Amino acid sequence: MPSISKCHVAAISLFDILDLTPQLDVRDGTGSTPPPIRQCQFKDVEFKYPFRNNAVVLSGLNACAESGESIAFVGPSGCGKSNAMALIERFYDVSDGALAIDSEDNRKWNLKAMRQRMAIVGQEPVLFEGTIWENNAHGKPDGSPPATQEEVEAAGRKANAYNFIKDLP
């Protein structure tokens, strides 16, 4: 097949992908704005990828995390840790069972507003460019004015990191 024909076929495939509508779209304004999240609970959750319905990725997952509590998903590669986190962030919906935020089905909440209320530490560390102050100022919600020096210092104190940060060169 000549190169031009291959490029044409590839372009058609690419445009087909670009024209897809996401099942979960953060720009969709539907759903209620959640209150500050106090609890996240998996209730007998099963998950299968939408495009691989015959492969069960998670089955019978039960877990509960309260606000302020630190939990970890630990296990061998491929056991579903990342998928559980993707369900919390609602990149996918559960196939069966329920994922509840404050005892309410997580699909009730506006996706963008729900994600703005989450603080998740992923598997890979991420370092932003800039000063510690600039990095800490990232915590302000979209559309809010920039964090003040006092707000950044208060956040450092709340995280028990203020003295450590203050003593850095």
pLDDT at position 41: 94
Which amino acid belongs to residue 160?
Answer: N
pLDDT for 81 beyond 80: yes
pLDDT for 91 beyond 80: yes
**CA-to-CA distance for 61 and 43, rounded, in angstroms?**
7
For 124-158, b/e burial (b = at least 16 CB within 10 A) is: eeeeeeeeeeeebbeeeeeeeeebeeebbbebbee
Least confident of 45-54, 74-83, 91-100, 129-138: 129-138
Each residue's pLDDT tens digit, 4-15: 778 878 888 877
Each residue's pLDDT tens digit, 101-135: 888 898 888 888 888 888 777 777 777 788 888 87
Tell me the pLDDT of the chain averaged across its residues: 83
Choose which CATH entry (3.40.50.300, 3.30.70.370, 1.10.3370.10, 3.40.50.880) describes domain 39-116.
Answer: 3.40.50.300
By percentage, how much of the chain surpasses pLDDT 90? 20
**CA-to-CA distance for 99 and 83, rounded, in angstroms?**
13
Each residue's pLDDT tens digit, 36-60: 888 999 999 999 988 887 889 999 9
**CA-to-CA distance for 93 and 110, rounded, in angstroms?**
14
Residue length of the chain: 169
pLDDT at position 142: 65
Considering only CA atoms, which of 61, 60, 42 is closest in space to residue 100?
Answer: 42
pLDDT at position 58: 93
pLDDT for 96 beyond 90: yes
Q: Give 45's strand partners.
A: 61
pLDDT for 1 beyond 60: no
**CA-to-CA distance for 64 and 74, rounded, in angstroms?**
15
CATH 3.40.50.300 domain residues, the chain: 39-116
Q: Residue 1 has what DSSP assignment? A: -
Asked if 34 and 91 count as a contact pair (C-beta separation under 8 A), the reply is no
Which pLDDT band, with edges at 50, 70 and 90, does 22 fall under?
A: low
